[in-house]
Chain A
Amino acid sequence: MVEVRLENIVKRFGETVALKGISLHIKHGELFTLLGPSGCGKSTTLRIIAGLDYPTEGKVFFGDQDVTNLSSSDRGAVLVFQNYALWPHMSVFDNVAYGLRIRKLPKGEVEKRVKWALELVKLQGFEDRYPTQLSGGQQQRVAIARALVVEPKLLLLDEPLSNLDAKLRLEMRSEIRRIQRELGITVLYVTHDQEEAMAISDRIAVMNVGTVEQVGSPREIYEHPKTEFVASFMGKTNVIPAKVTEREGDRVTVEFESFRLEGLTYSGEKDDVVIVIRPERISLHPVEDAITLEGTVDLVEYYGFFVEVIGVFGERRIIARTISTREVSVIRPTQPIKFYIRRDDILVLPKQL
């Protein structure tokens, strides 16, 4: 188990700059997730930590040891590949035993450890099968067993669930969490799915085109996004471009369309801002310390246990999400509506995109 530090990692592929100077600190025993859209540099970061790629600039530390120039085989940071990379010419047993045999463990020990690893991923009895005879989820488990059996300092998972169907995805997600807890190992997890990231992680780093935008616990990231990108990436949300018109310390007045929102908190320098409001934080009933927006109903979308009411305010459409109660069921398009939002739930962030 190990702490990982990345210091100012830059990675260029010819003209492309895949990573623009990334620093991260992954703590001992935590499940740390890199989250970001496809192409933002997650895999590259992972491969640099695994030693499969070398950074153009910057350093990688495992604990106090500078491993930047250490080859992959000497690092002990084991990667589970997105496509599992199981060797088709070897049985499940041989796949899992591979790393142990490289380490020249005695035969009995190899058998014991492989058995342990396959039990851990609940695949006992599959030793003699070949990868092509396994389902996607089983292949995934073999890949994880193969990585865990060598007792890696750090387990790296690159979008491990992306090739599985929806049901298996949920199952494997909790499996991975269970194994990580059981073994107490440090896991670096990569995904582009924010829901998955929030469900599984101790901490998340949100990445965007080669940079880390924010690091924090799932709750911090969701509730206190530091940038417009993070806010909009973490689930469906209302992002409304606006202007700061008055300031008094952190207290600002912000205007959009013909609406004027007073008493919001903002300490940024730019006057071009966005207002971020989570749909579920909009109430259709008056609440305390709230601002009120008056508009008309455009659309009501029914999702079963909740309902989304889309209101039009001037030209701006804003989504509110609420539990589908009887009162809500009478709301019809074109009728007037009032959205109540607590000032605490309105985020003002510098305009970014």
Chain B
Amino acid sequence: MKSNWSERLFGTPKFEPLVATSYLFPLLYLLFFLIIPVLAMLAIAFTYNGSLSLHWFREIFSFNSDYIKLPSTWSLFQSVKMPGTGETLYIIQGLDFGIVLNSIIVASVVTLLASFIGTIFAFLMARYTFPGKNLFRILLFIPLLVTPFVSAYVVQQIFSEYGIVSSILHALFGFRVRVDGLAGIALAQSITYYPIVYLNAYASFINIDPSLEEQAENLGSRGFHLFRTVTFPLALPGIAAGATLVFIFSLEDLAAPIVFHSNDLAKRIMSYQIFSKFLFGTGERSPLIAALAIVMLTLAIIAFLGIRKYVSLRQYAMLSKGGRWSPRVSKPRIGQALIIYLLLLPLLLFTITPQVGVVQLAFTEQHRIVTNVTDITASVTGVMYPTGSITNGTLVTPKGGWFFQGTVKGYSDSIGVINGSISGFFVGKVTVNNGEVKLTGDISYADFQGLASRYNGTIHTQMKGPITGTGELLSGGTVNLTSTRFKATMFNIPAGQVSKFSFNYVKQMILTPDVRRYIVNSLLYSTVAVILIVLLSITSSYATSRFKGALTPVLESIVILPMAVPGIVVAMGYFYFFHLVFPGTPLDPISPATFNPAYVLILAYSVRRLPFAARSVYAGLQQVHVSLEEASMNLGASRWKTVTGIVLPLISLNVFGGAMLSFVYAMSETSVGITLGSLNMAKAPITAFMKEVLLSAAGSINIAAALGVLLITVQIISIVLVNVITKQRYSFIGLS
């Protein structure tokens, strides 16, 4: 039989509609909803004045532009005086190398930090057994939970001038610190993404055949030398795969820049630039941001292809298959134990603070407590406005008292030094004798605005108290109060905050129709997307695992491609593509009257989260020997009957696991949700609302945190379900 087009394309000697569909459905789907939209954006980026041009790229890549430049200042931190107290505040925010370089530098720093932390924890968990290891295991699970925006917000709070870190430094050394800008973004992202490296590295360490290390030990290698020469190189492909994902995730992340957006440097990063110009610009979008998106896409794809090549070259971890082995674990020596408990445990506790903080925010209501302070001695200087003219003699208070205005300096044991301005009424006697003025009486309620050293920031309160003092009569009947002493009582001074456990925000989240709507939207879009993802991953994995047609490598690459395409690039691509192809329809983002984000979001979710499910289904199919299908066909079953009766039942658990994983990640999808999704807030997903909260103070951060808790709950439920039903370890994100 001659080899024909069916064999060449699909690897089946005879044309089989089911197999052809398995190839063509995912191929065409990704062609239309990933590749062509991105190409549409490409076309715009390469157009200037109606003709093909590199104009926009030249603008980006000219030195000393906004995009690539040297920092105007090289100092890593700025020191400023805190208003009022005059304490020194160091602001660490990073250096400005221009938008493009900033992105690359932040992503690189995050990759290094995340890889370092992730690898250390992975090695610890894979190779050591020590008291409390189960605690580590449980704690290490927490950072895996994804809560967009709110976790970065918590990191920001921890590192603000009034946060824990600053407070500790203040107590110890008397200065305060704020981590902000690019440094803040890098910190938040490192904490968010290190679990990706951890998972990949852990799997790599576990999969190393112990005999390889034993042989090296046998030859005299040990300790760090063994790690450096054998263990680490063998695990490196896995670690590198995780690191690459981190690089890409950091590059495209919008949540951290949005949280830090009040700092100008935080905005000078590619993702935020594209996002802000893309979202807030009216009318035509500048091709410049399309070009910027292309730069970002190129960086991501280079990183991605690099790692694919590297990993495929070095798949040695799996080379020696000697059945099951028990991994090598040892007890830490005393020095190592110290490192584990004194260094790694605190580090681990620190990396779970975002999740802990999110939960805390969601369930705590804060009330201010106020107090009255009676032990103030103060002096007032200022001006008093009596009514009528003043001559020698005693003047009694006019109705309502004399109005006065001045400054107040004082002291109280309970609130410290007091400084501020005061205005109010004086009730009492004023004696004038040859121009010399004496006052006795009371200051009835007076406004006080100023600082008290025990408090941070200004106090606004009321004061009252007996007053004695002297003054000087001025022309026009006013009195210059020179030194007027008084003992004062201050009312309603904020004395702190009490936090109270409360279900209010969770209740509000569920009961406020506006907020509930976002949840329903997200659930709906994610569910529909997951159905599509299941279809796409079954068809594509079936085609690529079973048939060796010319389309197989094409499909294989295209299915994992979404991992390398930043979400904001997908969003922009959709923006141009759907406007171009479906103008005036619910798919057209530029037509506010008709646009319904549901469709584009479902498409975007299904494309962006496909690789996670496809990996799982593919792994399942590799476990099912082809002969099981051949036996069925050989007994007379059709391909359809074979797939539905034999293949699907056997891979159902993998399909389920993949579906859950992509559902979780669809629920927390950010980039497309907060751009295209927020063009019609009535149909927007959860993440769009969370972005609104952080960007425009529409709604409270506590409700955003409650939504974060909802996402955490969804994740925990799916993890438990997957664990119970498939008896497999839930794998989260991985690349290798």
- Asked if A and B are interacting partners, one says yes
Distance from B646 Cβ to chain A, minimum over Cβ atoms (Å): 6
Question: Among B628, B634, B646, which residue has its beta carbon within 8 angstroms of that of A78?
Answer: B634
Q: Does A72 contact B (CB under 8 A)?
A: yes
| Distance, CA A167 to CA B627, complexed state (A) | 26
Q: Does B507 contact A (CB under 8 A)?
A: no
B residues in contact with A71, CB < 8 Å: 14, 633
| Distance, CA A50 to CA B649, complexed state (A) | 25
Q: Does B724 contact A (CB under 8 A)?
A: no
B634 lies within 8 A of A79 (CB): yes
Question: Among A57, A85, A103, which residue has its beta carbon within 8 angstroms of that of B636?
Answer: A103
Restricting to B618-644, which residues have a CB under 8 Å from any CB of A?
A: 625, 627-628, 630-638, 641
A54-B13, A83-B625, A89-B650 known; A69-B1 Cβ under 8 A: yes
A55-B1, A72-B630, A85-B625 known; A102-B635 Cβ under 8 A: yes
A72-B630, A81-B631, A89-B650 known; A98-B637 Cβ under 8 A: yes
A69 lies within 8 A of B630 (CB): no
A residues in contact with B625, CB < 8 Å: 83, 85
A51 lies within 8 A of B634 (CB): yes
B636 lies within 8 A of A50 (CB): no
| Interface bits B694-731 vs A (CB < 8 Å: 1, else 0) | 00000000000000000000000000000000000000
Q: Does A259 contact B (CB under 8 A)?
A: no
Restricting to B641-655, which residues have a CB under 8 Å from any CB of A?
A: 641, 645-646, 649-650
B residues in contact with A83, CB < 8 Å: 625, 627
A54-B1, A69-B14, A73-B638 known; A87-B633 Cβ under 8 A: no
A102 lies within 8 A of B634 (CB): no
A73 lies within 8 A of B633 (CB): yes
| Interface bits A81-94 vs B (CB < 8 Å: 1, else 0) | 11101011100000
Q: Does A56 contact B (CB under 8 A)?
A: yes
| Distance, CA A13 to CA B356, complexed state (A) | 58
A52-B630, A83-B625, A83-B627 known; A102-B649 Cβ under 8 A: no
| Distance, CA A135 to CA B205, complexed state (A) | 36
Q: Does A137 contact B (CB under 8 A)?
A: no
Find the B residue at minimum CB distance from A51.
Answer: B634
Q: Does A150 contact B (CB under 8 A)?
A: yes
B649 lies within 8 A of A79 (CB): no
B650 lies within 8 A of A81 (CB): no
Restricting to A86-116, which residues have a CB under 8 Å from any CB of B?
A: 87-89, 98-99, 102-103
| Distance, CA A82 to CA B637, complexed state (A) | 20
B633 lies within 8 A of A72 (CB): yes
Find the B residue at minimum CB distance from A95.
Answer: B631
Question: Among A85, A102, A147, which residue has its beta carbon within 8 angstroms of that of B637?
Answer: A102
Interface residue tally on A, bucketed by range: 20 to 34
Find the A residue at minimum CB distance from B14.
Answer: A71
| Distance, CA A98 to CA B161, complexed state (A) | 72
A89-B650, A102-B641 known; A73-B636 Cβ under 8 A: yes
A residues in contact with B636, CB < 8 Å: 73-74, 76, 99, 102-103, 150
| Distance, CA A132 to CA B633, complexed state (A) | 22
B residues in contact with A77, CB < 8 Å: 634
| Distance, CA A99 to CA B625, complexed state (A) | 19
B633 lies within 8 A of A52 (CB): yes
| Distance, CA A98 to CA B637, complexed state (A) | 9
Q: Does A146 contact B (CB under 8 A)?
A: yes
Q: Does A296 contact B (CB under 8 A)?
A: no
Find the A residue at minimum CB distance from B624.
Answer: A88
Question: Among A50, A54, A69, A82, which residue has its beta carbon within 8 angstroms of that of B634?
Answer: A50
A residues in contact with B630, CB < 8 Å: 52, 72, 79, 81, 85
| Interface bits B1-14 vs A (CB < 8 Å: 1, else 0) | 10100000000011
A residues in contact with B635, CB < 8 Å: 73, 78, 98-99, 102, 146-147, 150
Distance from A89 Cβ to chain B, minimum over Cβ atoms (Å): 5
Distance from A145 Cβ to chain B, minimum over Cβ atoms (Å): 12
A residues in contact with B634, CB < 8 Å: 50-52, 72-73, 77-79
A73-B633, A79-B634, A102-B637 known; A88-B1 Cβ under 8 A: no
A residues in contact with B641, CB < 8 Å: 102
Restricting to B580-638, which residues have a CB under 8 Å from any CB of A?
A: 625, 627-628, 630-638
| Distance, CA A147 to CA B634, complexed state (A) | 9
B650 lies within 8 A of A88 (CB): yes
A residues in contact with B646, CB < 8 Å: 87
| Distance, CA A88 to CA B631, complexed state (A) | 13
Restricting to B1-32, which residues have a CB under 8 Å from any CB of A?
A: 1, 3, 13-14
Distance from B552 Cβ to chain A, minimum over Cβ atoms (Å): 14
| Distance, CA A147 to CA B630, complexed state (A) | 13
B residues in contact with A87, CB < 8 Å: 628, 631-632, 646, 650
Q: Does A191 contact B (CB under 8 A)?
A: no
Q: Does A265 contact B (CB under 8 A)?
A: no
Find the A residue at minimum CB distance from B637.
Answer: A102
B627 lies within 8 A of A85 (CB): yes
Distance from B725 Cβ to chain A, minimum over Cβ atoms (Å): 15
| Distance, CA A68 to CA B13, complexed state (A) | 12
| Distance, CA A102 to CA B645, complexed state (A) | 11
A89 lies within 8 A of B1 (CB): no
Find the A residue at minimum CB distance from B16.
Answer: A71
| Distance, CA A55 to CA B649, complexed state (A) | 32
Find the A residue at minimum CB distance from B652.
Answer: A89
B residues in contact with A74, CB < 8 Å: 636
Question: Among B1, B645, B650, which residue has its beta carbon within 8 angstroms of that of A56?
Answer: B1
B residues in contact with A81, CB < 8 Å: 627, 630-631
Question: Among B13, B14, B628, B638, which residue has its beta carbon within 8 angstroms of that of A85?
Answer: B628
Restricting to A62-76, which residues have a CB under 8 Å from any CB of B?
A: 68-69, 71-74, 76
Find the B residue at minimum CB distance from A14.
Answer: B548
Find the A residue at minimum CB distance from B631.
Answer: A85
Distance from A152 Cβ to chain B, minimum over Cβ atoms (Å): 9
Question: Among A73, A89, A98, which residue has its beta carbon within 8 angstroms of that of B649?
Answer: A89
Find the B residue at minimum CB distance from A158.
Answer: B627
Restricting to A36-69, which residues have a CB under 8 Å from any CB of B?
A: 50-52, 54-57, 68-69
Distance from B7 Cβ to chain A, minimum over Cβ atoms (Å): 8
B residues in contact with A57, CB < 8 Å: 1
| Distance, CA A181 to CA B636, complexed state (A) | 25
Distance from A55 Cβ to chain B, minimum over Cβ atoms (Å): 6
A residues in contact with B628, CB < 8 Å: 85, 87
| Distance, CA A55 to CA B13, complexed state (A) | 10
| Distance, CA A71 to CA B1, complexed state (A) | 13
Restricting to B410-436, which residues have a CB under 8 Å from any CB of A?
A: none
A residues in contact with B1, CB < 8 Å: 54-57, 68-69
Distance from B634 Cβ to chain A, minimum over Cβ atoms (Å): 5
Distance from B298 Cβ to chain A, minimum over Cβ atoms (Å): 35
| Residue among B14, B627, B649 having the largest count of chain A Cβ atoms under 10 Å | B627
Restricting to A134-175, which residues have a CB under 8 Å from any CB of B?
A: 146-147, 150
Distance from A70 Cβ to chain B, minimum over Cβ atoms (Å): 10
| Distance, CA A52 to CA B636, complexed state (A) | 12
Find the A residue at minimum CB distance from B1.
Answer: A54
| Residue among A71, A88, A99 having the largest count of chain B Cβ atoms under 10 Å | A71
Distance from A158 Cβ to chain B, minimum over Cβ atoms (Å): 9
Interface residues of A (CB under 8 A from B): 50-52, 54-57, 68-69, 71-74, 76-79, 81-83, 85, 87-89, 98-99, 102-103, 146-147, 150
Given contacts A71-B14, A74-B636, 10 further A-B contacts (CB under 8 A): A51-B634, A57-B1, A72-B630, A73-B633, A73-B636, A83-B627, A85-B627, A85-B628, A87-B631, A102-B637
Q: List 21 A-B contacts (CB under 8 A).
A: A52-B630, A54-B1, A56-B3, A68-B1, A72-B633, A73-B637, A73-B638, A77-B634, A78-B634, A82-B627, A83-B627, A85-B625, A87-B628, A88-B650, A89-B649, A102-B635, A102-B636, A102-B637, A146-B635, A150-B635, A150-B636
Closest 7 CB pairs of A and B: A99-B635, A85-B627, A85-B631, A54-B13, A81-B627, A102-B636, A73-B636
